[in-house]
Structure 1
Amino acid sequence: MEKDIQAGYGIAEGSQETTSASSKGYLESLAERKKSVVATGVGNTLEWFDWTIYAVFAPFIAAAMFNPQDKTSALLSTLAVFSVGFLFRPLGGLIFGIFADKLGRKGVLLTTMLMMSAASLMIAITPSYAEIGGWASLLLLIARLLQGFAHGGESTASYAYLSEIAPPEKRAFWSSSMFFCVGIGSMIATLTGVLLTSTLDNAVLSDWGWRVPFFIGALLSLAVLFLRRNMIESDAYEDAQHQTASIIVEKSIKQPTQEWSKNKIVKRAIGIFFYQAATTLPYYIWTAYAAVFAITTRGMDAKYAFLATLGAQLVNIIMVPITGYISDRIGRRPVTIFFFVSMAILTPILMPMITSNPLSLFFVQSIMLAIVACIGGTQPAIIAERVPTKYRARIMGTSMPLAVALFGGTAPYLNSWFFSNNLGWVMYVYIAVTCAIGTFVVFNWKETKGIHLSDVN
C-alpha cells in the first residue's frame, strides 16, 4: 500500500530524503483517507436513521396517515409504502451510479444526503389522514419514493468509495465501516423508539410524537454536509479516469482489465443481483421487521420490543468489523456461505421462539443479527472486487438496489401477510430457496481477498 501511494506521489526509492518524503506523503494520504471514511460513515449513519425510523414507527404512522378504522389494513398499507420506497432505489442507483462513474463519488454523496433529508422533512410536516384524508397517504408515498431514490444513490456511491480508498489487505475491515454505521443509524432509530414510547403515551405518539425523529434527521444533515465537503475523491476512480483519457489520446494503449464485453458485464451483474437477493431478504426480516412482528403478532409491548431490538443491534454492530477482519484473513466466500446456510436453517427454528416476552426477542434477534454481521463485514469488499472501477458504481447501482427492492423491500409486508394468514411456513421456504441460490452463486465465485482493484477480471 505504501509503495502504491509513493508511486502516486511520483516518488522514487533510494535516498534517505526520498524515504522521509514518501513516509510523510503516506501518512498524509492515510490521514485524509481516514477522515473521508469518518465523513462517509457519519452520513451513512444519518441516512439509515432516516430510512429505518419509518419501520420503527410503522404502527404509529399507520394510525396517523391511513384510515385508522381498519388497523390491520392500515399497517399493511404502511408496510406497502415501505416496500414501494424500495422500488425507486434501483432508479436512484442507476442514475447516481452513472454520475458516480462519470463525475466522481464525492458529489453523489453530498447530493443524496440533501435529498434524503428533504424527504424526511416532508414526512415530518405532512398533515394526518384525519386532516386531509387520502392526500396524507399520497404525500407519504411521494416522500418515501424520494427517500428510496436518494438511498439507492447513497448506498451505491458509499459501497464503491469505501472499497476504493481502503488498503487492499484491509479492504473488508475498512469498508465494513459502512455497515457498522448502518447499524449505528438503525440502533439510534430504535433507541429513539424506546425513548419516545417511554416518555409519551400512545395518544401523543399517534398524534405528533412519531414525527419528532423525522425532524431530527432533517436537521442533522447540515452537520453531515460540513463533514463531507472536505472528503477526498477516490484515487481508484481518478486512476480509471486517467486511463480512459490515455486510451482516447493513444489508441495503441490497451486496458484489458477495464475493457469488458457487454456479455461479461451482464453476467457479472446478474450474479451480483442473485447474491444481493439472498443477503437482503433475511437481512430485512431480522433488522427491520422482527420488532414489528413481535408487537403486532405476538402482542409484545412496543417499548420493550424496541429495547430488545436495541440490544440485538448492539451485538450486530460489534460483530460487523470482526467479520470484516476475519474476511481479510480467510476470504470472502467462506464467511458469506456461512451466512446463507445459517439463515436458511435457523430462521424457521428461531422465529417461532419469539413470544410476548421481550427476552425471547432479544435472544433470537441477537443470534441472527450476529450472523447478519457476516454480510456487513464482507459485502462492500466482495462486490467491489467483482467489478472494475470503470463500471463499478453503475453495476452496483442497478443489480443491488433492484434485488433489495424485490426481495428486501417486500420482506416485511410478505412476512406480515403470511403470518397473519397462518402461512408462516411459506416464508421459511422462500428464505431457504433464496439462500440456496445465493450459496450456489458465491460458491462459484473466485476468492478475491487482498487483490488490487486494478486487477479485477
Structure 2
Amino acid sequence: MAGTIEPDAVSAPTSKRRSLVASTVGNVLEWYEWSAYAVFAPFIAAVMFSQDDPVSALLSTFAVFAVGFLMRPLGGIVFGRLADRRGRKFVLITTMLMMAGGSFAIGIMPTYESIGALASLLLLLARMVQGFAHGGESATANTYVAEIAPADRRGMWGSIVFVAIFGGSVLAYTVGGAITASISESAVGEWGWRIPFLLGGVAALVVLVLRRGMEESEVFTDDTTPAEESAPAVEVPRSQVVRGILLVIAMTSGITAAHYTWTSYVSTYAIAEQGMAASSAYWMSVIAQALALASLPLWGRFSDRIGRRPVLLAFAVAMIVLQFPLMGLISDKPWTLLVAATLALVVVAMPGALLSSTMSEVFPTRVRTQAIGFAYSISVAVFGGSAPYLNQLLNNLGIGWASSLYIVVLCVATGVAVWLLPETKGIDLAAAGSTPRRVRR
C-alpha cells in the first residue's frame, strides 16, 4: 500500500502548484474582464446610452453593472451544482469561455448612435452572461483552491483567489491608464474603450490551454468515488447548512461593499465628483491596488497562525473607523486618492485573503460549491454590485456621506457574523460543516 502512495505524495505538490497557477491566471483574466467595465464606465456611458442626460447615462452604466451582479447568484447555484457533481475543473473551463465571449461581444458591439436603444440592450445581455459565468467562477475558484491547499497553509493558498481579484482589477486599471495616456480622450471615447475587452477575449485562448492541464481536487474525487458509496455518508443537518449560508452572506456584506466602493467606484468618484484627471485617477488606483495585492498572502499566512476570526474582526473594526475620514480625504489632487485607496484596500485585503479558506471550511464537500456559490453571490450581488450605483446616486442627491454610513453598517453586520462563526483554522475539509470536528473558539 505504501508503495502506491509514495509516488503521489512526491508528485502532488508540483502538480497542485501547477493547478493553482492555472486556476489563478484564469481567475485574473476573468476579473480583468469584469473590472474593465467599471474602469471604462464614463466612456461606455457616453456611447451606449442617450446623452440627453449625461448623469442618467452614467447611472444607467452602473445599473447594468449591478444587473450583471444580480445574475451571479443564479450562476453560483447552477455552476455550483455542476461543480459538486461533475467536478471543479469542468466548471472553471466553461465559465472562463463564457466570460471571454461576453467580453469580446462588448468589444465589437455597435453604439447607441448606430442602433439606438438596442445597443443598451445588447450591453445588458452581455453583462448578464458575464455575471452568470462569474457567479460560477467565483464559487468554484474559492472551493478549488481551498481543497488543493495544504491544511496548515490554506489561508495563504486561499489568499491567491483574492490576489486574482485585485490582480485583474490592477490589470484593468493599468490598461485604462495606458490607453488614456497614449491616445486622446476623444479617441478613447470613439474606439479606445473597446481595446481592453478585445484583449480579454484573445487572452482567454492562452488560459484555456493552462486550465485544461489542471488536476481535479482530491477532496472532491475522494468524496464522490464509487468505492465510498458503500460507506455510510456523514450527513450534515440542512438547518446547519442554511445557518452557514446566512452567516456567510452577512460576513461578506461589509467586505464586498467596501471592496467594490474602493476598487470599482472610487476612481469614477475622483473623476466625476472631484475633477481629478482620468489618467491620474487610474494610475493612483493601480498603485493602491498593487500595494493591497502584495499584502494578501501575508494576511492569509497570518490567519494560518492566529486563526481566521481575529483577522476578520480586525477588518470590521478598522473599516468602521476609517471609512468616513478616508473618503473625505479625496480631492482633485492625485495623492489624496493614492493615500485613501491604499489604506482602505489594505484593510479590505485582510478579509479578502481569508474568504476562500473561511467559506470552504464552513460547508461540507458535497454541497460546498453550491453553498458558497449561493451565499457569496447573493452577498456580492446585493451589497457589492449595487455599491457603485448607490455611491453615484447618493452623491448626485448631495448626500454622499450616506454611502459611507451604509458601508459602516454592513461592516457591523460582518463583525457580528464573524463572532457567531466558530474558528476553523486548519480543519480537515472532509469533515467541514460538521460541528463536532470544528476547532472551538
Q: TM-score range by the shorter chain?
A: over 0.9
Map of 2:150 onto structure 1: 167
1:385 aligned counterpart, secondary structure: helix
Query: In structure 1, how many angstroms separate the alpha carbons of the residues matched to 2:180 and 2:101?
Result: 25
Aligned match of 2:169:
186
Distance 1:418 1:345 in 2: 21
Q: Of residues 60, 79, 86 in structure 1, which corresponds to 2:43? A: 60
Residue of 228, 246, 271 corresponding to 2:211: 228
Work out whether 1:206 is the aligned partner of 2:184.
Answer: no
What corresponds to 1:133 in structure 2?
A: 116
Residue 239 (structure 2) pairs with residue 263 (structure 1): yes
- Give 1:277-292 correspondences, 5 Å limit: 277-292=253-268
Task: Say whether the 8 Å CA contact 2:48–2:119 is kept in structure 1.
Answer: yes
Query: In structure 1, how many angstroms separate the alpha carbons of the residues matched to 2:14 and 2:219?
Result: 17
Pick one of 337, 340, 364 that aligns with 2:340: 364
Q: Which residue of 2 aligns with 1:95?
A: 78
Q: CA deviation at 1:376?
A: 2.3
Q: Which residue of 1 aligns with 2:133?
A: 150
Matches within 5 A, 1:369-408: 369-408=345-384
Separation in structure 2 between the aligned mates of residue 152 and residue 110 of structure 1, nearest angstrom: 14
Is 1:446 matched with 2:428?
Answer: no
Q: 1:44 aligns with which of 27, 32, 45?
A: 27
Worse overlay, 262-271 or 310-319: 262-271
Q: Does the CA-based 8 Å contact 2:254-2:408 persist in structure 1?
A: no
Deviation at 1:395, TM superposition (A): 0.3
Secondary structure, counterpart of 2:213 in structure 1: coil
Q: Cα distance, 1:425 vs. partner? A: 2.4
Among the aligned pairs, what percent are the same residue? 41
Does the aligned pair in 1 maintain the 2:284–2:338 contact within 8 Å? yes
Q: Could you state the TM-score of these two structures normalised by the residue count of structure 2?
A: 0.96
Alpha-carbon distance between aligned partners in 1 of 2:173 and 2:6, rounded to the nearest angstrom: 44
How many Å separate the matches in 1 of 2:7 and 2:287? Answer: 42
Distance across 1 between alignment mates of 2:241 and 2:421? 15
Say which SS state the counterpart of residue 300 (structure 1) adopts: coil
Larger radius of gyration: 1
- Counterpart residue number, 1:273: 249
Partner residue of 1:219? 202
CA distance in 2 between counterparts of 1:246 and 1:39 reads: 29
Cα distance, 1:245 vs structure 2: 5.9
Deviation of 1:318 after TM superposition, in Å, equals: 0.4
CA distance in 2, matches of 1:308, 1:278: 24
Q: What's the CA shift for 1:255?
A: 3.1
Contact 2:147 2:429 in 1 (8 A): yes
- Is contact 2:139-2:372 (8 Å) kept? yes
Residue 273 of structure 2 aligns with an amino acid whose one-letter code is T
Tell me how far apart the structure 2 counterparts of residues 223 and 398 of structure 1 sit (CA, whole Å).
29
Query: Aligned-pair distance for 1:323?
Result: 0.4
Provide the C-alpha distance between the structure 2 equivalents of 1:323 and 1:207, rounded to a whole number of angstroms. 42
Contact 2:156 2:301 in 1 (8 A): yes
SS of equivalent residue, structure 1 residue 172: helix
| Aligned counterparts, 1:298-309, within 5 A | 298-309=274-285
**1:290 counterpart letter in structure 2:** V
CA distance in 2, matches of 1:160, 1:350: 33
The Cα shift of 1:183 comes to 1.4
Report the Cα offset of residue 279 of structure 1. 1.3
**Match of residue 307 from structure 2:** 331
Q: Which runs of 5+ in 1 are unaligned?
A: 1-9, 12-17
User: In the alignment, residue 164 of structure 1 is paired with which amino acid?
Assistant: E
Task: Return the alpha-carbon distance in structure 2 between the equivalents of residues 129 and 110 of structure 1.
Answer: 33
Q: Say yes or no: does 1:254 pair with 2:237.
A: no
Q: CA deviation at 1:65?
A: 0.4
Contact 2:253/2:413 (8 A) holds in 1: no
How far is 1:153 from its partner?
Answer: 0.6
- Cα RMSD after superposing both structures: 1.2
One-letter identity of the residue aligned with 2:159: S
Distance in 1 between residues matched to 2:182 and 2:227, nearest whole Å = 59
1: CA distance, partners of 2:315 / 2:256: 11
3-state DSSP of counterpart to 2:425: coil
**Separation in 1 of the partners of 2:232 and 2:223?**
13
Equivalent residues, number? 433
Structure 2 letter corresponding to 1:101: D
TM-score by length of 1: 0.93
Alpha-carbon offset, residue 23 of structure 1: 5.2
2:88 touches 2:144 (CA, 8 Å); kept in 1?
yes
In structure 1, distance between residues paired with 2:431 and 2:72: 29
Task: Indicate conservation of the 8 Å contact 2:326/2:340, yes or no.
Answer: yes
In 1, Cα distance between the equivalents of 2:375 and 2:5?
A: 40
Mean Cα displacement is larger for which, 122-131 or 423-432? 423-432
Give, in angstroms, the shift of residue 210 of structure 1.
0.1
Q: Structure 2 residue aligned with 1:80, among 63, 76, 84?
A: 63
Shift of 1:429: 2.1
Provide the rounded CA distance (Å) in 2 between the counterparts of 1:399 and 1:177: 20
Q: CA deviation at 1:27?
A: 2.5
